[in-house]
Each structure stands twice: as C-alpha cells, then as structure tokens.
Structure 1
C-alpha cells in the first residue's frame, strides 16, 4: 500500500502544480497586456502620422483588418 500512497501524492502534486501554474500564468499575462496593450486604431493613426501620412478611415480599417487576419 506504500506505493499507492506515493503514486497518489505524485499525481496530487502534479494536479496542484498545473492549477497553480495556470493561475500564475494568467495573472502574468494580464499584467503584460496592461503594460503592453495590443495595437488599436489610435496607434495606427499615430504611426502613420509619424511617417508623414494623413491616414483616411478606410486605410486605418484596412491595416486593422490585415493585422487581425495574421493572428
């Protein structure tokens, strides 16, 4: 019966590690997205202005749709 207890403790530790790892990774990812938000339309407009272009709404939407398709 000693081996059964060892197996159960190993399985329990693995399950606990997976659950804890999931929540830690989720918290880290939320923090990362808050610090580095994904690209939005405002950022695209600003990048185009920095390149010396005045973007139209159609151009901004085209860039956004092309970026969303690549994900």
Structure 2
C-alpha cells in the first residue's frame, strides 16, 4: 500500500467520526429547543389526566405538578 492511500483512509475515518459527533450535537440541540417550545404535557392535558384518574384537580395542585415537571426538565 502506498503512503497516499493510507492518508486518504485516515482522513476519511476522521471525517466520519467528526461528522457523527457534529450530527449528534446538532440533533441534541434541536430536540432540546423543540421540547422547550413544545412541552410534552400542558395544564389542560394534566387536568384531563387527573379527572380520568378520579381526582378533582384544583388549580393549586395543577400549578404544583407543572412546576415539579418543569424542575425535572431543567435538571
């Protein structure tokens, strides 16, 4: 094998590793922003869920649960 082919292979491997790492971080940043803008659950969904479980949701309890869920997301 000539020295030129070895360098081409090394550069191709490094470019592949760099592309995978860069793609991972870009996708991670995109998903974090998406989830921040579109939270998976909101107050209305929480109220409906509590009513289905047989609980009468008060606004205080809903606010407390939303605050707890938001604290968990930021950690």
Asked whether the two chains share a fold, i.e. TM above 0.5, the reply is yes
Provide structure 1 residue ranges, at least 5 long, that are not aligned to the other structure: none
Q: How many residues align?
A: 63
- TM-score scaled by structure 2? 0.56
Find 2:65's aligned residue among 48, 63, 66. Answer: 63
Misfit runs of 4+, over 6 Å: none
Q: What is residue 52 of structure 1 aligned with on the other side?
A: 54
Whether 1:17 and 2:48 are equivalent positions in the alignment is no
Q: Say what the alpha-carbon RMSD is for the aligned residues.
A: 2.9
* Pairwise CA distance, 1:46: 0.6
- TM-score scaled by structure 1? 0.58
CA distance in 2, matches of 1:52, 1:12: 56
